[in-house]
Amino acid sequence: MSDDGGVPRIAVVDYGAGNLVSIDQALSQVGARVTVARDADGLRDADALIVPGVGAAGPAMARLDGRGLTEPIRAWIAADRPFLGICLGLQLLFERSDEDGATTLGVIPGRAVRLDGAPTLPHIGWNQVDRRREHPLFDGIRDGADAYFVHSYAGAPEPSVADELVLATTDHGARFVSAVARGSMLGVQFHPERSGDDGLRLLANFVTIVRRAPTAALWAA
Amino acid sequence: MLCRRVIPCLDVADGRVVKGTRFIDLVDEGDPPELAERYAREGADEIVFLDIGAAPERRGTLLDIVERTARRAFIPLTVGGGVRSVPEMRDVLRAGADKVSLNTAAVADPALIDACAARFGQQAVVVAIDARRTGTGSWEVVVEGGRTATGLDAVTWAEQAVERGAGELLVTSIDRDGTGSGFDTVLLRAIADRVLVPVIASGGAAGPADFVAAVRDGGADAVLAASIFHRRVHSIAAVKVAMAAAGLPVRRTPGMAA
């Protein structure tokens, strides 16, 4: 790791909306050191990157662009460095969002679509995360465990990539993708930092994945 | 399937949790972060803080409470009471809240709902509606803790609030609040049938059967209560056991039989 005996440093991207206290506290509690990244400099020396966030895609992309973070995030994922997108942070990985027509990061083929046939919208509350395949991100977490969701849109990957990409789905009127993985790029539609003990377990699993990944020093070399 | 939420509400005044009957005769019931953590441990699906204090320094006190709570309880936190502007909402979210509930300020200036939803997203904006029955089979919106009538029809206001960007409605029956006579399921149903967003039922809980009725008869997505939890009259687990027995989906909680 970058320093102090194996405590991974995780950069959490702050682009001006919402609550970073919970994610900071949750990651600290499971053994990571958190730095808040407000620009590209904030990613330096980080072992992993988390893009959290709620709200609409268009304003979020505008803020990432304004802070010079869009290209560094794309490059980070292209290099297969450890990455976790949470909620909007997962939706931004797709090519665009139906919510406001925003062009998003485009690292996953597909787009964010409104939840179809949902009995209530936004989808707010605890719902089951049903796994499609096993992954270290879910070690020690029961299949079908409840997690906390707050959203109206979800990423819909192109069918050609869905099988290899989708880790879990959830039902709210219809099935939507609630977790993805491709190499070191991970994403969850729910909020692990607000999902009680199972959420903390998932973040601890992410920290373990980061520990096993090549270090920031190696990437810099 | 989406679980029906059970939400303890902590009315906060000047740094302490209080509960009064119909918003008067306040009784001190504890430290907000400590109570919030206890509820998270006992299976609360979410916590709501309503700041009903009046002290000049209340804003700073509230932000401190929100941050201490967010660092102890890893479940969602909604904060209401006295938020009147986009910058005030930003401060509360940055302190660690996930949602902010707007009440009196939204009635006075409905465009505040649009502005907050545009800035933070619809999912972060809860509009709280305090409703009182009129003699004619409808409900009137009241504000300032139930002291001031507005002349607004509660169902109409609910629809307008959602059109403007409310992501959730917290509907309190002022007639029932603090009385233990059950939720006003007719009011809840009148609103839930008109909006797509989740409706949180509030005001009147006495026992587990009331929670079941709020969901089954009232169409509520979540049910909120204060004193029955603070005074340990009923546990969150007992409420969820009753809801599960009635066939309602709930998140499993410590203390529920497997």
Domain layout of chain A by residue ranges: 4-220
Tens-place pLDDT, residues B119-157: 888 999 999 999 999 988 899 999 987 889 999 999 999
User: What residue has token string 């973040």?
Assistant: A203
- pTM of structure: 0.94
Residue in B96, B197, B252 closest to A19 by CB: B96
Contact B246, B209 (CB under 8 A): no
Q: What is the mean pLDDT of residues A72-101?
A: 96
Within 10 angstroms of residue B196's Cβ, the number of other Cβ atoms is 12
Strands A83-86 and A185-188: parallel
Q: What is the mean pLDDT of residues A130-158?
A: 97
> CA angle, A149 as apex, A210 and B69 as ends, to 5°?
80
Contact B74, B98 (CB under 8 A): no
Tens-place pLDDT, residues B41-94: 999 999 999 888 766 777 788 999 999 999 999 999 999 987 999 999 999 999
Look at residue B22 in the predicted model and tell me its pLDDT: 45
Contact B250, B6 (CB under 8 A): yes
Q: Can you identify the CATH homologous superfamily of domain B5-245?
A: Aldolase class I (3.20.20.70)
| Inter-chain residue contact A19 with B168, CB threshold 8 Å | no
CATH architecture of A4-220: 3-Layer(aba) Sandwich (3.40)
Question: What percentage of chain B carries pLDDT values higher than 90?
Answer: 75
Look at residue A8 in the predicted model and tell me its pLDDT: 95
B49 inside 8 A of chain A by CB? no
Q: Which residue of A has its CA nearest to B199?
A: A120
CB contacts of A123 in chain B (<8 Å) are: 2
